Structures are given as C-alpha cells and as structure tokens.
Structure 1
Amino acid sequence: MSNINPPAAWLKTESEAVRRPVGRAIAVESAGGVLLIAQAAVLAHVANGVIFGEAALADVMPWLGGFLLLIGARAVLAYAAERARFTAAATIKTALRERLLQRIEALGVVWQRGMASGDLVETLTEGVEKLEAYYGRYLSQTAVAVLLPVAILAVITPIDWLSALVLLTTAPLIPVFMIFIGKGAETLNQRQWRRLGLLSGHFLDALQGLTTLRIFNLGAREARLIERLSDDYRRSTMAVLRIAFLSSLVLEFLATVSIALVAVLIGFRLMWGQLGFEAGFLVLLLAPEFYLPLRNMGSVYHARMEAVAAAERMVEILDAPTLAWRGTRLDVFTPAPPRVTLNELSYTYPGNDEPALADIDLAIAPGETVAVVGASGAGKSTLALTLLGLIQADRGTIRINDVPLTDIAINVWREQLAWVAQQPRLFHGSVRDNLRLGDPAADDTALWAALERAQAREFVAALPQGLDTSIGERGLRLSGGQAQRLAIARAFVRNARFVVVDEISAHLDTDNERRLVTALKSLAHGRTMVLIAHRLASVAHADRIIVMDGGRIVEQGTHDELLDRNGIYARLAAGAQDLAA
C-alpha cells in the first residue's frame, strides 16, 4: 500500500468528484432540519394554547394547517436529499470502476498474472459497493451532525440555558466514544476484507479447476479448505459486528441518559414554576432531534471503516506503476500491411534472473508471414506479448513503419491488431456477440463471410440457433478446434493489418489441423503475420521461420534451408510433428 496515499486520505480526495451532489444533500438536509425546528415550535405553541390557553379549534386550525405543510415540505426535502445521495454514490461507483478497469489494463499481463482473479473481481464488485454508504451517507451526515445540533442549540439557549448546557456538555461524549471504539474496528474491518478477498480468490480457483479436483479425488479436501476459509471470514465478520453493536449500544445509552436528564430538569422547573410549558415542551421535542444526527453517525462511521478497508486494495491498484506508453502518433498506418522491426529487444520478467528475450533483432516485411518456433520456454509467447504491446521491453525498440511503437497512440495500434491465442478467450454469449468483438458494427453478411474464410461456417450453421447460439463461458460448448476457428473468424471480422497467432494448431486432430492451416493461409493474405507454432504443418505456409532458444533468435530461414543446416530446427522437426518437443 502506498504511504503517500493511504486509503482514508484517498477517499477524501475522491470526494471532489461528487462535491456537488454531496453539497446538495447537505443543503437539503439542513433545510429539513430548519423545518423540523419550526414544526416543533408550532406543535409546542398549539399544545400550549389548547391545554392552558383554552384555544378553540378555529383558533388552532391555521397552526395545524401550517404544521401539515411543514410535514409535507420535510417529506419533499427528504426525497431530494435521498436523490442527491444516490447520485453521489452512483457517480463515484461508475467512475471508479472505469478507472480501476483502465488501470488494470494499463498494468499489463505480467502484473495481472501475479494477482488472484477472485480478489480483483471482489474489489471491482463488492469493494466498490462498500463505498456507496461512505459517499452516499457518511460525507453528508458528518456535516449535518454538526449543523443541525448547532441550529437546535441556538434555538434552545435563549429559551432554557440550563438544558442547552446539558446538551452542550454531553454531546461531545458521543463522537469521542465513537472514535475510541472505531479505532479497533478499523483494523478488524481491514482484516475482514482481506479474508473475504482470499476466500473469493480461492473459491473462484476451485470452480475453475473443478474437473481437475474431481479427477484427482480432491473434492473433499477442497471442501474442507473452503470451509476453514469461510469460518475464518465468519469469525472476522462477527468480530466487526460485535464492535459495531457495542458502539451503537454506547451511543444509544449516552443519548438516552442525556435526554432523560433534560426531561427531569424540565419537569422540576415546570413544577416549581421556573419554566413555561410551551418553552419546556419545545425543548423536550428538540432534545431527541439534537442527538439523532450524532447517533446516526454511529452507523455511518461503521460504513466509513468498511470503505477504508475496501479502499486499501483499490489504492494498491491505482498506485501500482503502469506501462510507460504515452504515444500520440495517429498517422503511422496506411491501407498496406505494416513493416515491423525489432532492434536489440530484451525483457526479463520481474523476479527472474534469466532474460525471457535477449537482444532480439528481426525485420518483418509488409505482408510477410513469419513463423516462430522453439522449445517450451524459448521466449515465443513473451515475444508475442511484446509485439502486442501487452508488456514493454526493458531494452531495445519495436518500430512500426519506422515509428517507435511507444510513440503510437495505444488505441490506434490496437485498432490494427488481431490476436488469436492457443486457448482463445470466448465470452459467455452468442456466436454473434463473440464475433462482433472484432467489429461491433459488422452485419450478419460480414460475420458469415468471416466464418467461411475461417473454415467455421459449417459447424456454426449446424448449431441450434446459428449465430444466436449461446456458446457458454470460455466457449465450453465448443470443441477446441471449433473455438480456435471461431477466434480466427473474429480476426477476419477485425480486418486488422497485423496479426499475431500463438500456437494455434497445438493439441488438434488431423481434420481440425487441416482446417486451421487453411484458415491461417487465408488470414495471412494481405496482412503482416507472426505465427508462433508448435507443429510442423502450421509453419509450412510461412514465408520465413525463426528459431528461438533461451530468449534469442538462433536460426532463421525457410523450412528447407533450416533442415539443410541440421541445427535446432532440424532436430525439432525430425521424425515428428511437434516443434516444441
């Protein structure tokens, strides 16, 4: 966690974004407090007139009418205050989720791989929701807890200075005890939130790996582990609730005793004739309202502690260093495929001593298809991530049409990209929804054309609802080959000038491999392509093959040239289809 921007200070800084709706809520609630005082004064006057002044119904009717109008006005103001609070909370939640998502994207895949997915999801969902009460109630209630008691005290003091003195003396005890108790609860809230993140992350991992757990007969062990984590979370939650209930009990006790003391003093002075009924009744009506905002602070202060605990993780995300990509160039691309040049490119993953890429020099001509092969761990996938701009090299440059990649506006660069992974990411939704990730404006004619070129039209047409068929999360209702062909179709829909394909033909049967090789040949036409492959068949159509070993390019040439050299490529290709053996 950043020491420069701790969660409590960060929450206050973020409140600038909702200053107007919070200010409206404070103003409206304060106006409602003024009407409350007026309402109490009218009620005290009417009661005094009826009981002691023998006022007739006709005499008090105007006062009763005013009393009803005040009730209606307070209801309208309460509605307006609630709307302002809702606006403040909704505004900050929407803006914060957008910022967090943008930040997570900017942090890159290396940072993301080091984080628990469940913890991040919990932060973006439940964590952001925890801020609602802080921005929707705590900020406005803090101001009202000062303004309304001061206004009531200003009314009571000229009428009954003794009751005002009691109120003034006892009121500070409530926030003092609240802060004293809350200090311990803040630590418990942070511990509770961390345990919830741990539970969420582990539960998500268990769901994603459910098949593996069943195969290894580890379901019972995993259930016991989740039970233990759940029990830890339950215990931490109960500890927080005990503190919350204790603070509420203390606040209620102080307020009740103080009101009772005021009532006793008023009763004695009424009996002794030292105080008039109307004045005494007004003070008695206002005394509970004097303490009400202070008592409400107990619940909203607990909301503040929850917000601080949730904000701790958000501050870590927002303070983490991002990839230094601040390019602004927009004029780099033409309708022709781009030229890609790598100069002395090197990258080492954080925490590793050995470089994943070391002094890579590579020039890819416009429209050329370059296949990258090598043993597992040779640096192929790291090279792909670097070309995509998902990680930035420690040293060296990537140039697109002779312009450094980091000088190009990131959105412009990504508009020119298509990415097909070995395990393509397909989202829960229809075939149409997944294809339109490439181009949201694509019509069905364009989608079917892309499916045809990707050798996927046949199986999509056979689906129960065609393009409208739901494929399930991660494409679970499709075979591996079908999912990969759908990813190629999405790349066609994208109509990008530069395509990176990562090990698309690994783990496939002969028919699927043949279809995919045909689709890749079609995809490569008129585009610059980098194909990271495992199998011999998938590199046969490449214009050039480069061989990587230990993060370096050790060989390059055509298939026949590399076989004649009898080097690493020849050994990889000898007698088998697997180039990563």
Structure 2
Amino acid sequence: MGIQRRLIREISSVRPLMVWMVVLGLCSSILLLLQAHLMADCIGSLFLHVPKHRNLVVMVGELAVVFLVRSLVGAIAGFVAARFAANAKLDIRARWLSKLFTLSPLNIERMQTGELVTAAVSGIDNLESYLARYLPQSVEAVMVPVVLLINIFQLDWISATLLCIAAPLIVFFMILLGKGADSMAKKQWHLLENLSANFLELIEGLLTLKLFSRSADAKRLLAHIGDANRVATMKTLRVAFLSSFVLELFATLGTGAVALALGLRLLHADLAFIPALTVLLLAPEFFQPIRALGTEFHAGLNGLAAAESLFAMLDEREDGADVPIPVVSFSEVQAIRFVDVCVRYPGQREDSLQELCLTIHRGEKIAVTGPSGSGKTTFLQLLSGTLSPSSGVIEVDGQSCSTLSCAAWRNNVTLLNQAPYIFSGTLRENLQMALPGGDTMADNALQEALLKAGLRDWLRSLPGGLDTRIGDGGRQVSGGEAQRIAIARAWLRQSPFLLLDEPTANLDPLTAAEIETAITALTENRTVVVVTHDPGFSRRMDRVIRLAGADSSDEEGTRCKDGTGY
C-alpha cells in the first residue's frame, strides 16, 4: 500500500487518472442501471405481457442507445487510462534517467548494468500496465458495486443483504492471497533482474569464456538462474489463477444465492416480477468488476514490484549532487589546495586516499605516480568533481569547500580515462559530445581537432568521413584510435584544466610515443595533472607527486606535511 500511495503522490498523471476513472465509473454504473431496468421492462412487456406505460419499440430503442453509450464510455475509459499511463511512463522514465545522471560514479559502479536496463525497460513497461489496467479496474471495482448495491437495496433488501455478505468474503480472501503473492512477485522481479545482469555479463565476457573453455559453465549458470526465474514466475501465476478461481467461486455462489432467494419469493408471490428480474440482471454485474480485477491481479503485482525497484533507485543518495562553491570564475582559478583530504569507499575499513596535502597552481603540469591502489585515480575523480572526499578541506583560491562536485567546475575540466568510451554513433556525434549543452561545431573545426590528435590519415580512410558509424554496430576502433578520439574531444572542449589517467597504458611503444606527442601539444597553456607509470612522461612535467597509501611525497621523497605538495 505504501508504494501505491507514493505512486499517487509523486507521479503527476496518476491523480487525474483516478479522477477520470471515478467520473467514468459513476457514468458506467448509472448506464448499467438504466440498461438493467430497460431490459427488465422489455422482457416483462414482451413475454409476460406486464402492463407497460411506453411503446415496446421505444423501450428497445432506448435500450440500444444506453448500450451504445455505455460501450462508448468504456472505450473512453480505456483510452484515458492508456493516455495517462503513457504520460506517467514518460514522467517516471525521465525522473529515473535524471536521477541516474546525478549519481556519482561510485554509486553507479555498485549497480549492475543488467538490473538498470531491466528496470528502465521492463520495469517501466510493467508499471504502465499497472496504471493502464490494474489501477482503473481497482477504481471500478469499488465504484460500480457500491452504486448497484444502493439501487438493489431499494428494489429488494434481502438480495442486497446477500450481496453484502458475499462481497466482504471475496475481499477477505483477496487480501490473504495478496499478502503471499506480493512477496512472490518481488522475488520473481529480483530474479529477473539477476538473470538480465548475468546474461549481459556473459555476453560482455564471451571472448574470455571461450579462451578459457568455460562456455559450458556459463551456460549452466544461466540455465540455473533462468530455471529459478521460471519457477518463481509460475508460483506467481499460480497465485494469480487461484485468486481468479476464488473470485469466480464466490461470485457464482453469491449470484446463485440471490437467484434462489428471488425464485422462492416469486413462487410465493412475495415479490413482483420486474423488480426481481432487475435484481437478477444486476447481481452478475455487481461481481463483474471484482472478477475483472482478479484477471488483472498479475499485472498489479508485477507493476508494484517494478515500482518498488524504480523508487529504490530514485531514493539513492546523491553523492555527486552539485554543491555551491564560492568562486566567481572557475576558468580563472589560480590555485587548488587539498588539506588533509581522505576518501573511504563504502564497505572499506581503510581510506583509499589518506591525508592528502597538495597545492596545484594555475598553468602547472603535475605527474602523479605510485603503485596500484595508492589512490591515483581517486585523486583524479576528486579533481574532476565526480567524487566527494570523506573528510578534509579543498580550497579554491583560498575559499574552503567540501567538494568540487559542481556543474560549473566540471564544465572547466576535461578528464581522459585509460579506456575512453566510444559511443555507438557517427564520428561526428562522438566528437561533438565534448561540446557543452549539446552545441555543434563546423566540420572544419572537427577535422582540425582530429588532425591535432594524429587522426588525419585515419579520417581519410573512413568511407563516410565524419558521418561514418563507429563503436558498437559500426566500425570498430583500436585502443590507440580511441585515445586519439578522446584527445580530439579535449581539443574541442578547450577547458583550462586537463586530467589524464594513464593515457598511454596498454599501448605499443610506437603508438604510445605518438599519443604522448599529441598530448604534449594539448597541454600547452593548461593546468595539467597526469597519472602515469611512464618515467619518461613524468620527466616532461613540472613536478612529480608520488602517492603511496598514507604517504604523499614529491619526487625527492619528502612527506607533504605543509599543505603545499612541494
């Protein structure tokens, strides 16, 4: 129930949808009453010659009009539900994606890609089914029986009493079944997420599995998870079918009890025929919305399980959320100082970066070295504003702040990772991704950036030039080509702060030398911090900082205790 209330409270389309369903449900109930009364009058006049006050042809015409209008109301209800559900789907997906882009890399790395994809696609689709089918049917299952019961009570209080006894029994057993089915649906949803995550992981590691001859083990693992998902799905469906059986059973018994009571009183002439026939026609309609709700029971369970997963993502703490930094112009920053800065990742007992004391001056070129695990990449994430320190102070031109996590700061920083990501798209799109705010740039500027990155001959070899598709589904690029594309992006971005994370790692010596030459030209008139294990690359920098766990020292090996890094 908490998830349902949150859906109504937080998704703007849900409240108007419920208002529409209440109004249309009331109209449908009134039309249903008119239809039952007109049908009873027509049958009584036609077969039993009950005295009539109107022409039979007129009553049949009215009945046909009511039937058509009721069908039209039903069609409108379906259209409105589908429209509002689609809007809600767009709303929740936009919020979900916006939340994903505000999370820090640390938060995202803890999530499995398969689970995210399942939530973004299947989860939101299940939620749409819940809003378009289960929620409107829930409103109708409340509205229609209440309106019909009021009229039945006016016609025959005994039949109304029998229906009042049957309806709570149905609700009681629905609640009992729902409690067990809810946990089953959640389990089935988590198994589906696990299946998606493992399948994606196996696809990504398919080459490694082949090389180590472990494909059979991977197939067995996937079959085991798939079978567990099948068992959980069948258990959920079994409960859904059982709920439908219970609804049908009690609806049949309730309708039969009303019919029996009406028949006995008709035999003893205790009830007129027209009211008795009207009640008999309304009795199945009294249970029909509840029975229809049972058929949507499975969609409701899946929708709520998906909503819980989606809201869990929306409730993630935003470690990477923007914070104000008291600096007038980030492009004119003269010095950044780290004072006793520590970073500890969740679940770890020790800091990954300990008591970092360092000052970076404008225009300075710094090489950061150290063994693996000493916190070099963590340091770059702090500088890029994608990670916040656990403790310590960062000063920007003397102004203290707890983090550099700010969009205005990130717009002035370019980070080149060890393995730049090449998106599936054209070369032009991959280059223009470096431009802020979705801006575009002329072809000659893009070609000049590629020339500076050493990709002139490669560009000429492409069949479609800048419009050639690269990445997944297109022309594959090598590691060196990917690094050069990243360098071309950096040329286009023209940010004053340049951060490099082992840009020549895993490259052959010739390619590494060419990359270093391109980077040397790129670093002119910029503040540069480069993480590298290459002594030759380090010697080209103005200063070398060595990180070694708790120790941070310059190239002479002096511990940085003065907060300057010298």
TM-score, normalization by structure 2: 0.89
Partner of 1:464: 463
Distance apart, 1:381 and its partner CA: 0.5
* Closer/same/farther in 2, CA of residues 541 and 25 from structure 1, 3 Å limit: farther
Residue 573 of structure 1 corresponds to which residue in structure 2?
none
**383, 396, 417: which one aligns with 1:400:** 396
The letter of the residue matching 1:394 is S
Alignment of 1:180-259 (within 5 A): 180-259=176-255
Is 1:120 aligned to 2:119, yes or no? no
Q: Using the alignment, how far apart are the partners of 1:476 and 1:395 within structure 2?
A: 45
Amino acid at match of 2:464: Q
Q: Distance in 1 between matches of 2:296 and 2:7?
A: 14
TM-fit CA distance, 1:338: 5.7
Relative to structure 1, the CA distance from residue 171 to residue 459 in structure 2 (aligned partners, 3 Å threshold; closer, same or farther) is same
Alpha-carbon distance in 2 for matches of 1:123, 1:141? 24
> Is the partner of 1:130 in helix, strand or coil?
helix
Aligned partner of 2:562 in structure 1 is none
Partner of 2:439: 441
Q: Which residue does the alignment assign to 1:509? A: 508
Instruction: For 2:405 and 2:544, locate their aligned partners in 1 and report how far apart those are by CA, in whole Å.
Output: 30
Once the two structures are TM-superposed, the CA of residue 408 in structure 1 deviates from its matched residue by 7.0
**Amino acid aligned to 2:477:** L
The separation in 2 between residues aligned to 1:452 and 1:37, in whole angstroms, is: 78
Q: 1:149 to 1:463 in 2, by over 3 A?
A: same
Which deviates more, 181-190 or 70-79? 70-79
Deviation of 1:231 after TM superposition, in Å, equals 0.8
Name the amino acid aligned to 2:367. Answer: A
Q: Report the 3-state secondary structure (helix = DSSP H, G, I; strand = E; otherwise coil) of the residue aligned with 1:459.
A: helix
Say if 2:12 and 2:88, in contact at 8 Å, map to a contact too. Answer: no
Question: Does the CA-based 8 Å contact 1:330-1:412 persist in structure 2?
Answer: no
Q: What is the one-letter code of the residue matched to 2:440?
A: A
Report the equivalent of 1:172: 168
Q: Is the 8 A contact 1:421 1:503 kept in 2?
A: yes
3-state secondary structure, aligned to 1:391: coil
1:409-458, Cα deviation, whole Å (9 max, x unpaired): 72222222222111112222221222222122223333222222222233
CA distance in 2, matches of 1:404, 1:105: 26
**1:125-524 alignment to 2 at 5 Å?**
125-323=121-319, 325-329=321-325, 332-333=328-329, 335-336=331-332, 339-404=335-400, 410-439=406-435, 440-443=438-441, 444-473=443-472, 477-524=476-523
Q: Which region of structure 1 is more displaced relative to structure 2, 17-26 or 132-141?
A: 132-141
SS for the counterpart of 2:104 is: helix
Tell me whether 1:547 sits opposite 2:543 in the alignment. Answer: no
1:382 offset after TM fit, Å? 0.8
Using a 3 Å threshold, how does the CA distance of structure 1 residues 552 and 26 change in structure 2: closer, same or farther? farther
Equivalent position SS for 2:274:
helix
Relative distance call for 1:31 and 1:417 in structure 2 (3 A) is farther
Deviation at 1:335, TM superposition (A): 5.0
In 2: Cα distance, 1:518 partner to 1:79 partner: 68
The answer for the alignment partner of 2:40 in structure 1 is: 44
Distance change in 2, residues 1:487/1:51 (3 Å): same
What is the deviation of 1:321?
Answer: 3.2
Cα separation, 2, equivalents of 1:547 and 1:117 = 34
Percent of paired sites with the same residue: 34
Unaligned runs of 5+ in 2: 560-566
Question: What does residue range 61-80 of structure 1 map to in structure 2 within 5 Å?
Answer: 61-80=57-76
Structure 1 553/157 Cα, relative in aligned 2: closer, same or farther at 3 Å?
same
CA contact under 8 A between 1:156 and 1:163: conserved in structure 2? yes
What's the CA shift for 1:232?
A: 1.0
How far apart are 1:285 and its partner, in Å?
2.0
CA 1:462–1:539: 2 relative to 1, 3 Å:
farther
Write the distance in 1 (CA, Å) between the matches of 2:340 and 2:2. Answer: 40
Q: 2:85 aligns with which of 85, 89, 97?
A: 89
CA separation of 1:148/1:456 partners in 2, compared to 1, >3 Å: closer, same or farther?
Answer: same
Q: Which amino acid aligns with 1:503?
A: E
With over 3 angstroms needed to count, the CA separation of the structure-2 counterparts of 1:110 and 1:21, relative to structure 1, is: same
RMSD: 2.9
Query: How far apart, CA to CA, are the structure 2 residues paired with 1:491 and 1:73?
Result: 64
Check whether the contact 2:352–2:375 (CA below 8 A) recurs between aligned residues: yes
Contact 2:35 2:67 in 1 (8 A): yes
For residues 504-557 of structure 1, what are the alpha-carbon distances to aligned partners after superposition, in whole Å with 9 as ceiling and x for unaligned? 11111233223312321232233322211232344344232222222532224x
Contact 1:346–1:358 at 8 Å: present in 2 too?
A: yes
Rounded to whole Å, the distance in 1 between the matches of 2:61 and 2:296 is 35
TM-score by length of 1: 0.87
Give the equivalent residue in structure 1 for 2:563: none
Q: Deviation string for 1:111-163 (max 9, x for gaps)?
A: 33233222232223222332223333433333322221111111122222222
Q: Is the 8 A contact 1:420 1:502 kept in 2?
A: yes
Contact 2:322–2:407 (Cα < 8 Å) also in 1: no
Query: How far, CA to CA, are the matches of 1:174 and 1:361 in structure 2?
Result: 69
Which has the higher mean CA deviation after the structures are superposed, 58-67 or 277-286? Answer: 58-67
User: 2-side partners of 1:399 and 1:6: how far apart?
Assistant: 44
Write the letter of the residue equivalent to 2:487: I
Change (3 A) 1:199 1:434: same
Displacement of 1:65 in angstroms is: 3.3
Would the alpha carbon gap of residues 12 and 21 (structure 1) be closer, same or farther in structure 2, given more than 3 Å must change?
closer
Per-residue deviation, residues 9-58 of structure 1 (Å, max 9, x unmatched): 644543566212221122222212222222222222223233334899x9
- Whole-angstrom distance in 2 between the partners of 1:335 and 1:241: 60
CA distance in 2, matches of 1:61, 1:492: 84
In 1: Cα distance, 2:317 partner to 2:120 partner:
19
Equivalent position SS for 2:346: coil
Which blocks of at least 5 consecutive residues in structure 1 are unaligned?
Answer: 557-561, 569-581
After TM superposition, give the deviation of residue 216 of structure 1 in Å: 0.3
CA contact (8 A) 1:133 1:300 kept: no
The answer (yes or no) to whether the contact 2:383–2:404 under 8 Å persists in 1 is no
Residues 150/540 of structure 1: CA separation in 2 closer, same or farther (3 Å cut): same
- Structure 1 residues 484, 36: closer, same or farther in 2, change over 3 A? same
Post-superposition offset of 1:259:
1.6
SS of the residue 2:553 aligns to: strand
2:276 aligns to what SS in structure 1? helix
- 8 A Cα contact 2:394 2:403, kept in partner: no
Q: Deviations over 1:207-239 (max 9, x none)?
A: 111111000000011101111111111111111
Q: Take 2:297 and 2:363, find their aligned partners in 1: how far apart are those partners?
A: 62
Is the CA contact 1:381–1:502 (under 8 Å) kept in the aligned structure 2? yes
Residues 374 and 549 in structure 1, CA contact (< 8 A), matched pair in contact too: yes
Flag the 1:542–1:6 CA change in 2: closer, same or farther, 3 A: farther
Task: Write the letter of the residue equivalent to 2:531.
Answer: I
Partner of 1:576: none
